[in-house]
Amino acid sequence: MNREELRAFLDEKADRFNWPGFIEHDPVSIPHLFSAKQDIEIAGLFAATIAWGQRITILNNSRWLMERMDHAPGQFVMDYTAADLDKLKTFRHRTFNFTDLSYFLRFLRHHYDSHDSLEDLFVPPPGSETIEQGLVEFHNQFFSLKGAPQRTRKHVATPVRKSACKRLNMFLRWMVRNDGRGVDFGIWKQIRPRQLVCPCDLHVERVARKLGLLRRKNLDWQAALELTAQLRRFDPEDPVKYDFALFGLGVEEEF
């Protein structure tokens, strides 16, 4: 396919998968359980953080967590007690366990005690082409509390460690994109869709390589930037909309 043919192909696939029917079997269904901004942010962060492995397990564990938070994650974060934490001690998703969960809750309470939104943690410096420095700053702020467990660092990616930051980029897509299609929320306004970086999991990587959109050998931060730069040729203002096309082709159509 030439460039225009590839663009038309990806536009058609993005249009096909970017609709409310996509939500049910995707981790984005967890923040869609809520309507309040802080509930959406907290549910989205947890769902994105544990979004590796089988999707059904991700969804089941995320729902379990929301149930233990009485389906009010914002209120739970601000008001939880030692007894409430006891209800969470058995939580585990692969290597993410109660130690990690309790620190997440501690940080979220600390942040929301003086801020209305998580967006402030991710905003990149003025003039930034991508969200890269925002991701770095989020990581730095997240682990700024005294006694932050070393083991939890593996669950919060950063470009500094050359990670592709797939799960955080997915979370940012949910929060930032606002195309009226009903999947992404678009509740954050300080970050522009053009600054987002495409979430790169194994499905997206496989399809991108087959389409000639990704040549870098390692699936790292530079690979995520390379893929996003290619997608920006098709839509400079909203390159990450093609995440729907690449993921859908890889998972739903086994392209």
How would you write the pLDDT of the chain (255 residues) with one tens digit per residue? 888 999 999 999 999 999 999 999 999 999 999 999 999 999 999 999 999 999 999 999 999 999 999 999 999 999 999 999 999 999 999 999 999 999 999 999 999 999 999 999 999 999 999 999 999 999 999 999 999 999 999 999 999 999 999 999 999 999 999 999 999 999 999 999 999 999 999 999 999 999 999 999 999 999 999 999 999 999 999 999 999 999 999 987 666
| β-bridge partners, 96 | 93
- Looking at residue 1, its pLDDT comes to 81
Angle at 15 between CA 10 and CA 19, to 5 degrees: 140
Write down the pTM of the prediction: 0.97
CB 62 within 8 A of CB 45: no
Q: Beta-carbon neighbour count of residue 67 at 10 Å?
A: 10
For residue 84, give both structure tokens: 């409430």
List CB contacts of 182: < 8 A, sequence separation 6 or more: 19, 20, 23
Classify the C-alpha dihedral 94-74-134-179 as positive or negative: positive
- Report the b/e string of 135-163 with b at 16+ CB within 10 A: bbbbbeebbeeeeeeeebeebbbbbeeeb
pLDDT, residue 194, reads 98
CB 77 within 8 Å of CB 42: yes
pLDDT given at position 253: 67
CB 187 within 8 Å of CB 173: no
CB 190 within 8 A of CB 115: no
Residue 211 contacts residue 226 (beta carbons within 8 Å):
no
The DSSP bridge partners found for residue 93 are: 96
